[in-house]
Amino acid sequence: MARIIALDYGKERTGIAITDELQLIASGLTTVKTKDLLPYLKEYVANEKVSCMVVGEPKQLNNIPSESEVLIQVFLDKLKASFPSIHIERQDERFTSKVAFQTMIETGVKKKRRQKKELIDEISATLILQSYLNRIK
């Protein structure tokens, strides 16, 4: 089987998570500057078989898309054009950043490391991917 990639898309940085080849386990991969995201994904897909990309869908509590959704829609158009053979899905990402931060506290991550937003983005992408896997299985 091929891997599934999840993206916690942000204006400055994007967290990336990946499944194993059996699509059972979501693991954080990295965080990249958003301006470098498409080249990074092109290189990754050239070396790994990917069947699906899951992009976080930010929503407010009342289920209305958050203001960052406008940026994500522009990115989605570029993503679809760059990877026409890869299926693209969306996954609700409400509270992933808060859960990511709380997870770091509960697992004993030192305060200095918790302040690194890159780590929060990577963990958030992992949570998005795990939520997606739970939804489709």
Instruction: Name, in order, each residue with C-beta under 8 angstroms of 24's C-beta and a sequence gap of 6 or more.
Output: 133
For 40-70, what is each residue's pLDDT tens digit? 999 999 999 999 999 999 887 787 878 889 9
φ, ψ of residue 63 to 5 degrees: the values are 75, 10
Q: How much is the pTM?
A: 0.88
The separation between CA 12 and the C-alpha centre of its own chain, rounded to angstroms, equals 14
Helices 96-106, 117-136: axis angle to 10 degrees equals: 110
The more confident residue out of 137 and 31 is: 31
**Edge-to-edge order in the sheet of strand 87-92:** 26-33, 13-19, 3-8, 50-57, 87-92
For 20-31, what is each residue's pLDDT tens digit? 999 999 999 999
